[in-house]
Structures are given as structure tokens and as C-alpha cells.
Amino acid sequence: MVEQAYVYILSSTFQKLYIGVTTKIQLRTSQHQAGRYEGSFTSKYKIEKLVYFERYTEISTAIAREKQLKRWSRIKKIRLIVAQNPTWKDLSEEWGKPIAPSTEPTP
């Protein structure tokens, strides 16, 4: 089975950014949000909001993309985020919540 890989961008309230790569996006995001690694960059600056991610079938491709994004200017990173997530919504906030059943329109 091929495991998917993700490149992700987290943001603080003040839009301080962190770029990472993982094969377990939900677990890794929750670790950041819980401050699991005390003293880390994300913990120190309270960078907890998932604002952008990309999915890949090969970890090597995801790592290459992560390195590319880390070399980008801050404004270019912000433009990337805004193009997909203009309100900077936390894309992980609905994870783990029950999904409401769909309702069929009555004829």
C-alpha cells in the first residue's frame, strides 16, 4: 500500500508560518496544536492553525516540495495560502467531528 504524503503550512494568529511534511496529516496537526514538542518553533510561537496542505503519492516528491516552499519569500507563501484559503480558516477544525447526514430534497 502506498502511503500518502503531505506538505503543510501552519500559521499563528499573527501569521507566523511553519512548513512541514508528514505521512499522517491529522496526527501531526494535532501534535502541533497540543504543543507536543515543548520548546519547538511551533510551540514557542503558538503556530497551530492548518491553513494549507498538498497531498502526494511519493514522500520524496513531498520532501522536494517542502524544500521548495521553504526557499520561497514570505509574500509568495502568503499568496499561495490566500489563493486556496482566503480567510485563513483552520482546515483541521472539522476533523473528527460527526458528519451530518445529507437530506434529500422533497419532491
Q: How far apart are CA 83 and CA 69, in angstroms?
A: 15
CB-CB contact of 79 with 15 (8 Å): no
Q: For residue range 14-26, what is the model confidence (pLDDT) as tens digits?
A: 889 999 999 999 9
Say if 104 falls within a structural domain.
no
24 lies in which domain range? 5-84
Q: How far apart are CA 97 and CA 86, in angstroms?
A: 23
The mean per-residue pLDDT over the stretch 12-39 comes to: 89
Say if 69 falls within a structural domain.
yes
Nearest to 25 by CA among 1, 4, 46: 4
Q: Which amino acid is at 74?
A: R
Q: How many domains does the chain have?
A: 1
Q: For residue range 50-79, what is the model confidence (pLDDT) as tens digits?
A: 999 999 999 999 999 999 999 999 999 999
Nearest to 80 by CA among 96, 65, 59: 65
pLDDT category at 38 given cuts 50, 70, 90 is confident
Say if 100 falls within a structural domain.
no
Q: What is the pTM of this model?
A: 0.85
Q: How far apart are CA 68 and CA 20, in angstroms?
A: 11
User: Which CATH number do you get for residue 39?
Assistant: 3.40.1440.10
Question: What does the mean pLDDT of the chain come to?
Answer: 89
Say if 101 falls within a structural domain.
no
Say if 47 falls within a structural domain.
yes
